[in-house]
Amino acid sequence: MNVRAPNLRLHSSGLTAEHDMACAVCHTEKAVYSLNEGHFEPCWRCRSEGWRLRHRDRSRFWVQAAQALVIVLLVLGVGLCAAALFR
């Protein structure tokens, strides 16, 4: 698969930019280039429909998985203790 790099022209003032990158959601409108972040976001129409760019922090997944495991172990531990008490 050949991926074409977008043509991106920044104005000398640094306040505006022109590009030819299509929206990743609808593929018909032009994407919105964020000068602050340096990445493309969905077009304004798709953004009005609720589409957003999302960056997944993979390290956060492991933190949440560990927290869920701790909760499961606590529930099992309380259940085993209760079973031993009511024998």
Considering the domain architecture, whether residues 2 and 35 belong to the same structural domain is answered as yes
Per-residue model confidence as pLDDT tens for the chain (87 residues): 677 788 888 888 877 888 889 998 999 999 998 888 888 899 999 999 999 887 666 677 778 888 888 888 888 877 777 677 677
* The predicted structure's pLDDT at residue 56: 65
Burial class (CB in 10 A: 0-12, 13-18, 19+), 82: exposed
Domain ranges, residue 30? 1-55
Question: Residue 81 and residue 69: Cα distance in Å, rounded?
Answer: 18
* The predicted structure's pLDDT at residue 25: 92
Considering the domain architecture, whether residues 33 and 50 belong to the same structural domain is answered as yes
Considering the domain architecture, whether residues 29 and 7 belong to the same structural domain is answered as yes
* The predicted structure's pLDDT at residue 3: 73
Considering the domain architecture, whether residues 38 and 10 belong to the same structural domain is answered as yes
* The predicted structure's pLDDT at residue 57: 67
* The predicted structure's pLDDT at residue 45: 94
Residue 23 DSSP code: P
Work out how many domains the chain is built from and give that number: 2
